[in-house]
Amino acid sequence: MSKDKVFNVLFLCTGNSARSIMAESILNREGMGRFKAYSAGSTPRGEVHPETIRLLRRSNLPVDQLRSKKWEEFMGDDAPKLDFVFTVCDNAAHEVCPVWPGQPLTANWGVPDPVLATGSPSEISLAFSDTYRMLNNRISIFTSLPLQSLDKLSLQKRLDEIGLS
């Protein structure tokens, strides 16, 4: 892998309104130009959840270009060539994660869907913050991996381990 290569990363979830959007935003900031992140959903809700927008703004992340979209946008000939595809669906909630065809390295980094949170506004906000924190931690570990020095098998093992953290 070239030292100057920019890695394309797609984060997938079901609704593409919270988790994958957060991950896209975090990696585009934390990747410091080494990564270009995208997000999509298997059944997108069609809009980014308002609490996601509030949280990202509080975290000083840009929100103007964010939109909820289907993962098929990343399958065409004109789509970016993906190096990594991470699902952030919560297997514990028995969500069906989209399956990604092709050659990118993949891993499941499942986190709870804060859109499903109930309770007071502060409890809902806390659910979004918890999801953001989990994704931020995993992305921080991912961006610190020595991608150029790991063979594909070792890298896949590390990616799977991040999903367990």
pLDDT of the residue at 162: 95
pLDDT of the residue at 67: 95
- Asked if the structure places residue 55 within a domain, the reply is yes
- Asked if the structure places residue 2 within a domain, the reply is no
pLDDT of the residue at 91: 64
pLDDT along the chain (165 residues), means of 10: 81 93 96 94 92 96 93 85 89 60 84 95 97 97 92 93 91
- Asked if the structure places residue 22 within a domain, the reply is yes
End-to-end CA distance of the chain, in Å? 26
Give the CATH number of the domain where residue 44 resides.
Answer: 3.40.50.2300
Question: In total, how many domains does the chain have?
Answer: 1
The range of the structural domain enclosing residue 136 comes to 7-164
pTM above 0.85, yes or no: yes
Alpha carbons 32 and 143: distance in angstroms, whole number:
9
- Asked if the structure places residue 80 within a domain, the reply is yes
pLDDT of the residue at 102: 67
- Asked if the structure places residue 1 within a domain, the reply is no
